[in-house]
Amino acid sequence: MTLPVRLSDRQLYEVQQAALSVPYDLRGVFLERVAAELRGRDLGDGLVHRIAYEVARELTWNSDRAATG
């Protein structure tokens, strides 16, 4: 069993903002990947922001490429 990732209100807001750029049908995948990247790390606001936007960018990039390719 995996432990939940505990985020502050500010960190949760950052994840929610990053999720807005992810296609709706990929948001579950987005949340799973963000949680996997954050699990077991010392969570600062900057780290959460960076990881959330990196994952969002990767998913958006890949979905855009699949749609045009």
Residues 6+ apart with CB under 8 A from 30: 18, 19, 22, 55, 56, 59
Is residue 40, in this structure, part of any structural domain at all?
Answer: yes
Higher confidence at residue 64 or residue 33? 33
- Beta strand spans in 1-69 (E): none
Cβ–Cβ < 8 Å for 34, 55: yes
Domain that holds residue 24: 9-68
Is residue 2, in this structure, part of any structural domain at all?
Answer: no
pLDDT the model gives residue 16: 97
40: left (phi over 0), alpha (psi -120 to 50) or beta: left
Is residue 3, in this structure, part of any structural domain at all?
Answer: no
The number of distinct structural domains making up the chain is: 1
Is residue 4, in this structure, part of any structural domain at all?
Answer: no
Is residue 43, in this structure, part of any structural domain at all?
Answer: yes
Entry pTM? 0.84
